[in-house]
Amino acid sequence: MNHFPAARARTAVASALAALVMSVLPGCGSSTKDTGAADVKLPPVGAAWDYQIGGAYPPPEGVRIVSRDRADDPAPGLYNVCYVNAFQTQPGEKWPSRLLLHDKSGEVVNDPEWDGEAVLDITTAAKREEAAERVGAWIESCADKGFDAVEPDNLDTFTRWPGLLTADQATAYVSLLARRAHDLGLAIAQKNTGPLAARRAQTGLDFAVVEECGRYDECGAFAKPYRNRVVVVEYEDKGMAKACDGFGDRLSVVRRDRDVSTPDDDGYVRDVC
């Protein structure tokens, strides 16, 4: 099974950066003019959705948006988002050493939260282009399968290694992925990372997929610049209550278990506002 990012650890750095979101960029309505990308279908605002990146299963009744891992197929008749781990490797993948981030001692930087995941080196334009080519092949596979959009995970990696990566590098890299997605007719989501929501003109991102914005009081950082085109997953009751109370009438909010499991698993949880 491919990696899934449920409840990825938030750092104090990320929380502090989110508080710096002071401005937003204009968007318009529900058309593709939100980002200027042609022939891109955007997700419906406020529609019921399900987060299935831990394994595909028949969507519950009323669901109109589904996010699934790139290894799975889209759900027929729904708006389908394809999950891709775009800023870190997945176990078993072979990446050249030159595209893996190294610390000051020369060691490859690995994410301690996810065994076997190395951080990609996006510090130069050449490395960003090469990494984007590799990830772009996965995005193309999503398009070939019939997905409507792509969700590139770990955009917030720069907040966890601030001495090695920067927001500007992440912005430049994700803009390459956005260009590739749009060329393939796919919309592309911002995954978490509130401080970058105000950079829509630079990133070219179309909507947002956000984990635990209720818990961390971040929903507004995404709702305004993306004009409520935001899908939210919460993993705890308290965060779910806050997301529903503050944004349940305009954002798509779902409560899932932290493993994002399937209904045949004993730990499966799914609830809506």
Average pLDDT over residues 115-126: 94
Asked whether the whole model's pTM tops 0.85, one would answer yes
**Do residues 70 and 84 lie in contact, with contact meaning Cβ atoms separated by under 8 Å?**
yes
Residue 14 has pLDDT above 60, yes or no: no
Q: Which residue has the higher pLDDT, 154 or 116?
A: 154
Average pLDDT over residues 111-128: 92
pLDDT tens column, 198-240: 999 999 999 999 999 999 999 999 999 999 999 999 999 999 9
Average pLDDT over residues 15-42: 47
pLDDT at res. 207? 98
Residue 18 has pLDDT above 80, yes or no: no
Q: Which residue has the higher pLDDT, 25 or 111?
A: 111
Average pLDDT over residues 108-137: 94
Q: Which residue has the higher pLDDT, 8 or 134?
A: 134
Place 68 in a pLDDT band, splitting at 50, 70 and 90.
Answer: very high
Place 154 in a pLDDT band, splitting at 50, 70 and 90.
Answer: very high
Residue 35 has pLDDT above 60, yes or no: no
What average pLDDT is seen over the chain?
A: 88
